[in-house]
Amino acid sequence: MKSLYTGVGSEDIGKYVIFSGDPWRVEKICKYLESPKKIAFLREFNTYTGMYKGIKVTVTSTGIGAPSAAIAMEEMYEAGMEVAVRMGTVMSLKDDTLGDFMIPVAAMRREGTSQNYVDLSYPAVADVELLNVMNETVKSMNKKYHNGINCTMDGFYTNMHDSKFSKESNRDINKTFDELRKLGVDGIDMESACLMTLGRLMNVKTCTLTVVTVLENLKDKLDGKDREEAEELLCRVALEGIYNYANKKEKS
């Protein structure tokens, strides 16, 4: 039986699943897979399964935000997922981090979706072993990584970037950035806290692997070739990290 939104069944996916916000990033990562098979492209959910160095890996997209990410997480879990990696981009609150990786140990749950699953006192935390393997994988590719805390929010134009309407409404987005910096938060995204919360509840080993593509309120960003190269490296790190994790588990 196929799932309602992603259109996958237990025969379609591997136990290792990579979640990409962008459906077209899924197409990019597929060139690194052996014999990738397109499972379905329904709504924002673009799903392929293939092999990477002998490991069966599924890659699917979630679109933007926690509600659709939770749907993808639910349906992949029902189909047999055991390990989940969010592969995406993040807005950094730290200057001089464009192109660096952020692999947060935890996230503030300021999105609403995870609150439908469990009380806010329940933490959104990464699986430590999976996170450490991703750290080592990034390090092996001579890139910087940061293991801090990020904050997941629902509203891009209410919390992350000025718009015509936010200015007309006299909404001061900089207050959010100032508050989060005082709390020691490294970056802001729209999915991580929800995925890590659900992963912990489902006993699915979960972590977030992101690359910094923009700074707060888009005051600086990666463009053109730099952005393309950062996303290509992100795909490679996600796959190589899963391969390294799988090998480590087999040896233990």
Among 63, 80, 56, 67, CA closest to 3: 80
Write the DSSP string, 44-91: TEEEEEEEETTEEEEEEE--SSHHHHHHHHHHHHHHT--EEEEEEEEE
Name the DSSP letter for residue 148: -
How would you classify the pairing of strands 101-102 and 145-146? parallel
Q: What is the pLDDT of residue 1?
A: 87
> Which residue ranges of the chain lie beneath pLDDT 50?
none
Domain boundaries, the chain: 16-251
Specify the amino acid at residue 175.
Answer: K
pLDDT of residue 250: 80
Q: What is the pLDDT of residue 227?
A: 96
pTM of this structure = 0.97
Closest CA to 102 of 80, 135, 63: 135
Condensed to tens digits (0 to 9), the pLDDT of residues 80-96 reads 999 999 999 999 999 99
Q: Can you give the pLDDT at residue 252?
A: 73
- As a CATH number, domain 16-251 is 3.40.50.1580
